[in-house]
């Protein structure tokens, strides 16, 4: 099982330098978990960037093809514990808690996750101009 962090989704959708890293897990929808907070973060960022409506629809459609994992009580408690222990921001703690609850690998380029167990971290690279 895989979880792709919000920045991985955005990197893939924007065809950024690390897009290829996230393509595999994003295309394996039967093995892909999407925390609801990722849905929120990705859609919000695309709306803030005034992204093309087709791109927004593509992102949401791709997420719906995977298993969307809602934030329930037990996951919220686990995320709070992880976030406090690992000093992670709120959304990051929910994403990591979701991955760990399902024994999934978390794919990301968010440095907050660098070096954590169960995480495939790829350093963000600047876009070529």
Phi, psi of 32 (to 5 degrees): -105, 130
* Per-residue pLDDT tens digits for 76-115: 999 999 999 999 999 999 999 999 999 999 999 999 999 9
Specify whether the CB–CB gap between 34 and 3 falls below 8 A: yes
Domain containing 52 — which CATH number?
A: 3.40.50.1010
37 is a domain residue: yes
79 is a domain residue: no
List the domain range (segments joined by +) for residue 17: 2-70+103-118
pTM recorded for the entire structure: 0.93
Task: Give the C-alpha separation, 97 to 85, whole Å.
Answer: 12
Lowest mean pLDDT among 57-61, 68-72, 75-79: 57-61
123 is a domain residue: no
The secondary structure of residue 14, as a DSSP letter, is T
129 is a domain residue: no
9 is a domain residue: yes
Q: Using alpha carbons only, how large is the chain's radius of gyration in Å?
A: 14
Domains in the chain, number: 1
81 is a domain residue: no
């Amino acid at each position: 099982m895989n979880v792709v962090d919000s920045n991985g989704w955005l990197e893939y959708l924007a065809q950024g330098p690390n897009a290829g890293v996230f393509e595999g897990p994003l295309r394996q929808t039967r093995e892909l978990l999407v925390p609801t907070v990722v849905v929120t973060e990705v859609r919000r960022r695309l709306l803030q960037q005034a992204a093309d409506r087709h791109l927004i629809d593509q992102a949401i459609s791709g997420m719906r093809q995977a298993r969307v994992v809602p934030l329930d009580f037990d996951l919220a408690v686990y995320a709070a514990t992880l976030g406090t222990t690992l000093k992670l921001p709120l959304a990051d703690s929910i994403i990591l808690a979701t991955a760990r609850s399902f024994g999934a690998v978390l794919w990301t380029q968010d440095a907050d996750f660098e070096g954590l167990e169960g995480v495939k971290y790829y350093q963000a690279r600047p876009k070529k101009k």
